Amino acid sequence: MAKIRIGPDDVLSMTVEELERLMEREGQPRFRGAQLFEWLWRHGIGSYEEIPVWPKPLRQRMAQEYPFHRLRLVESQRAHDGTTKLLLEMADKQRVETVLLPHRFGYSVCISSQVGCAMGCKFCASGLKGRVRQLSAGEMADQVSFGNHVLAERQARVSRVDVMGIGEPLDNLEALMQFLELAHHSQGMNLSYRHITVSTSGLVPAIKHLADSGKPVTLAVSLHAPNDALRLSLMPVNRAYPLDQLIPMSRYYAEKTGRRVTFEYLLLKDVNDGEKEAHELGRLIGGFGAHVNLIPWNPVAEHPFQPSPKAHVRRFQSIVQEYGISCTIRRELGQEIDAACGQLRLREEEPVSP
């Protein structure tokens, strides 16, 4: 059997232009590249045999020379509210989590960008075992495609993408940029950049790269603390990129792209949820039209944190709003399933020691 490629010859990671060049190298007309892209991403084919407009010898040659692997479903959990968590397997048997979330506007899909994560945030299940490997652009795009496949049964499609699952997407920048092109292209999944959110723990140089890329996606910065000492105790990345670099770069992103930046703030009882922290946060990010998304803590067995009482959450919100900052509380979706990112994959592997 032909070996599946995860690399430069992986057709699932190629843009239309790259596929056109590949088909030319194969002695085929250039338009076959765009045809292949369309069949891969608009129709979601699982093999070359499903391209009826191609002659059989071409289908066979491509299957031999450029085999591709679509994600395989290992497990799915569906909550009463429609939130659906998928554990998907890649060609090398590594697994990723992808979550479908219902909204008033339709469905969003939250995709992973790495297997594991190197950032080591203290509240996160995904970072417990470090980074195993990067995902390719095709593996990211295929999570969106798989979401469409699942939603077809509900007569729906993915209308927004959050690159917020397992991994730090800006630590996999090249593949992320390629993924954005794949997801955006009108001959494929045709998603507006405005409907794609990229989340980061705060890799400042990569935020600059994204700002200057001409791809105006929504940026979500995982802040979780309003001062360096507290943030460093929760997020080791703050040592390399402290707040006096992260906040000005977030402002630069907003100015360069014209997009509102969202700051994610996980509320941990008696850690970062006090009135003092709310005022500090208001002073830190006021004045450039940023948005704050407060996230109620979803308990993870491996971590000692407790959720903030609802009254603390509301008080925190109203203080932040006093600074003229738009501030919402994230809806809790999929409560009865392993909803925090990384939990499903960890449970499928051996237990993690406390």
The catalytic site residues sit at 97, 341
Smallest distance, ligand SF4 to C-beta of residue 264, A: 9
Judged by DSSP in three states, 153 sits in: coil
Q: How many residues bind ligand SF4 (CB under 6 A)?
A: 11
**Amino acid making up residue 135:** L
What residues are paired with 96 via a beta bridge?
88
- Is 168 a binder of ligand SF4 (CB under 6 A)? yes
Cα first-last separation, the chain: 42
Rounded distance between C-alpha atoms, residue 244 and residue 212, angstroms: 20
Contacts to ligand SF4 from residues 125-164, by CB under 6 A: 126-127
Among 124, 175, 211, 278, binds ligand SF4 (CB under 6 A): 124
Asked if 22 is part of the footprint of ligand SF4 (rule: CB under 6 A), the reply reads no
Closer residue to ligand SF4 in complex, CB, 238/308: 238
Pairing between β-strand 262-267 and β-strand 291-296 as defined by DSSP bridges = parallel
Of the candidate spans 47-55, 121-129, 138-146, 269-277, the one that interacts with ligand SF4 by CB under 6 A turns out to be 121-129
Sheet holding 291-296, edge to edge: 72-78, 84-89, 95-103, 106-110, 158-163, 196-200, 218-222, 262-267, 291-296, 326-329
Do 222 and 199 contact (CB within 8 A), yes or no?
yes
Bridge partner residues of 266 (DSSP): 295
**Buried b / exposed e across 154-163, counting CB within 10 Å, b at 16+?**
eebbbebbbb
Residue from 90, 115, 121, 204 touching ligand SF4 (CB under 6 A): that is 121
Closest to 148 in 3D by CA, of 219, 33, 45? 45
Q: Pick from 16, 87, 166, 170 the residue near ligand SF4 by CB under 6 A.
A: 166
Q: Which of residues 79-118 bind ligand SF4 (CB under 6 A)?
A: 117
Which of 23, 36, 119, 219 is the binder for ligand SF4 (CB under 6 A)? 119
Shortest separation between residue 275's beta carbon and ligand SF4, angstroms: 25
Work out how close the CB of 168 gets to ligand SF4 at its nearest, in angstroms, rounded to a whole number.
4
Q: 3-class SS at 44?
A: coil
272 is a site residue for ligand SF4 (CB under 6 A): no
Among 167, 188, 226, 282, binds ligand SF4 (CB under 6 A): 167
What are the phi and psi torsion angles at 236 (to 5°)? -55, -25
Residues 170-209 that bind ligand SF4 (CB under 6 A): 201
**Position 338 contacts ligand SF4 (CB under 6 A):** no
**Min separation Cβ 300 and ligand SF4, Å:** 11
Chain positions contacting ligand SF4, by CB under 6 A: 117, 119-121, 124, 126-127, 166-168, 201
